[in-house]
């Protein structure tokens, strides 16, 4: 009988045997999508033949198992090739080809993203990442000394740092609230915000899905709580867009920022900022724009010289995402998460999963802790012994190993992770 370590080694060989990317991969993916279209998203989630087509559209290093897609994701090879093609074209005659030929195509990207998000193109700015989009919000809104901003202790650290800098410069007050992980209900989260609101509260920044535990927060309910009180709600959707299905109208938000090099699988250095049209005049750009652009969403794109190739390749990534389908994609991501999470929960009473399972309030991101294992040391042990890449979450209120597969992740790789964790539980990681 194979022991766990030899089992992992044998499965790794099978994973490496995946056929390489072929030039007709996208056509085959679309054909497979058409065939799967008559079935529900849940019925396709474990169809390995279907997902193998998508796996071949990537060229990852399969000697490592990347379960840290919550940081940044690889792009499908055709997306990368589109960006490289445009970079090469740019370099032939940059002032002509980049500025006059490629840059105007950003308007097509704007239109396609706006349609996917469900807003007017004149409300969609192309940014380099979620941090840039959120910092436009953080530093762009006029606030007075003593005005209060509500965040949670689980907001992304860079955003909290941004608000703290405003507090030092402008005298605003930043209030951090906590909620239980995992929360007993969505109402619990809303109640924590409601309890912290005062007459001085001017802004709430809410994370659509936390980068820590993968908890999806009740954005619409928070907007409904804040709007009648004249409180602006900034939504940090860094991990949300193209991760699970939603539209602007479902959230009813006025501001939204996201990265596209995570779950949309667009090139690194792409994101978007949505600002409702009647809010644009009141939100300053991060870099100065002329007064004539006060009501123009493009004022948030005034960042100086930058490559057009990166943002133009967003269209290729969006087409790939739409070919899969948002419902089918999140069903697969939840299937991969549940595959390792439920096995570990069944096999050991030392395991705690801090991400909601069997729930619409979670996606691919899973946070797991094991009683008796050093969370900080565990990722290094997994990397050295199994070639598995994960990241530790060392939050003051909770700790765990964050595990994030993506659509190119194979079930063999997820199983290898589960087997490695069981090995760690049984034998330790010293």
Three-state secondary structure call for residue 404: strand
Do 4-66+325-427 and 80-320 show the same overall fold?
A: no
Q: What mean pLDDT is predicted for residues 97-119? A: 97
Q: Residue 365 has what DSSP assignment? A: -
Cα–Cα dist 270/317, whole Å? 11
Say how far apart CA 405 and CA 70 lie, in whole Å: 8
Helix segments in 94-243, DSSP class H? 94-96, 106-117, 130-140, 157-170, 186-196, 219-226
CATH fold, domain 4-66+325-427, is: 3.90.1150
Give the pLDDT confidence of 223-278 residue by residue, as tens digits. Answer: 999 999 999 999 999 999 999 999 999 999 999 999 999 999 999 999 999 999 99
The reported pTM is 0.92
pLDDT at 7 over 60: no
Coil, helix or strand at residue 273: strand
Q: Give the pLDDT confidence of 355-366 residue by residue, as tens digits.
A: 999 999 999 999
**Would you identify the CATH topology of the domain 80-320?**
3.40.640
Q: Poorest-confidence range of 22-31, 101-110, 355-364?
A: 22-31
pLDDT at residue 270 in the model: 98
**90: which residues sit within 8 A by CB, 6+ positions away?**
97, 98, 102, 307, 308, 309
pLDDT in tens, 148-163: 999 999 999 999 999 9
Q: Write out the two tokens for 377.
A: 């040391």
Measured CA to CA, the distance from residue 47 to residue 50 in angstroms comes to: 6
Domain boundaries, the chain: 4-66+325-427, 80-320
Q: What are phi and psi of 398, to 5 degrees?
A: -165, 165
Nearest to 75 by CA among 373, 318, 330: 318
Q: What is the pLDDT of residue 217?
A: 98
Please provide the average confidence, as pLDDT, over all residues in the chain: 92
């Amino acid at each position: 009988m194979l022991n766990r370590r030899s089992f992992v080694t044998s499965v790794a060989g099978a994973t490496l045997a995946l056929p390489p990317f072929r030039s007709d991969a996208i056509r085959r993916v679309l054909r497979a999508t058409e065939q799967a279209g008559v079935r529900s998203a849940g019925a396709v989630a474990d169809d390995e033949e279907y997902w193998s087509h998508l796996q071949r559209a990537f060229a990852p290093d399969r000697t490592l198992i990347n379960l840290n897609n919550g940081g940044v994701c690889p792009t499908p090879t055709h997306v990368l090739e589109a960006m490289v093609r445009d970079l090469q074209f740019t370099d032939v005659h940059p002032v002509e080809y980049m500025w006059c030929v490629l840059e105007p195509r950003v308007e097509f990207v704007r239109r396609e993203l706006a349609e996917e998000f469900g807003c007017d193109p004149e409300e969609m700015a192309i940014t380099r990442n979620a941090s840039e989009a959120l910092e436009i919000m953080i530093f762009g809104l006029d606030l007075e000394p003593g005005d209060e901003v509500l965040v949670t202790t689980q907001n992304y650290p860079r955003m909290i740092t941004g608000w703290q800098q405003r507090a030092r410069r402008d005298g605003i007050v930043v209030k951090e609230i906590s909620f239980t992980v995992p929360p007993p209900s969505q109402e619990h989260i809303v109640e924590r915000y409601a309890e912290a609101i005062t007459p001085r509260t001017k802004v709430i920044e809410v994370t659509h899905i936390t980068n820590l535990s993968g908890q999806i927060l009740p954005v619409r309910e928070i907007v409904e709580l804040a709007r009648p009180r004249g409180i602006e709600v900034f939504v940090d959707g860094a991990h949300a867009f193209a991760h699970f299905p939603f539209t602007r109208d479902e959230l009813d938000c006025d501001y939204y920022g996201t990265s596209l090099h995570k779950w949309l699988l667009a090139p690194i250095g792409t994101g978007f900022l949505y600002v409702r049209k009647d809010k644009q005049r009141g939100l300053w750009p991060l870099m100065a724009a002329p007064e004539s652009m006060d009501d123009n969403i493009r004022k948030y794109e005034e960042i100086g010289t930058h490559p057009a190739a990166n943002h133009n390749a967003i269209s290729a990534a969006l087409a790939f995402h739409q070919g899969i389908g948002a419902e089918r994609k999140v069903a697969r991501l939840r299937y991969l998460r549940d595959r390792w999470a439920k096995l570990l929960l069944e096999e050991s009473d030392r395991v705690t999963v801090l991400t909601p399972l069997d729930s619409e309030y979670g996606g691919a991101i899973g946070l797991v802790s094991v009683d008796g294992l050093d969370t900080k040391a565990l990722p290094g042990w997994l990397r050295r012994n199994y070639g598995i890449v994960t990241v530790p979450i060392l939050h003051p209120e909770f700790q765990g190993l964050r595990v994030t597969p993506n659509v190119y992740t194979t079930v063999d790789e997820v199983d290898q992770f589960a087997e490695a964790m069981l090995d760690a539980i049984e034998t330790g990681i010293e």
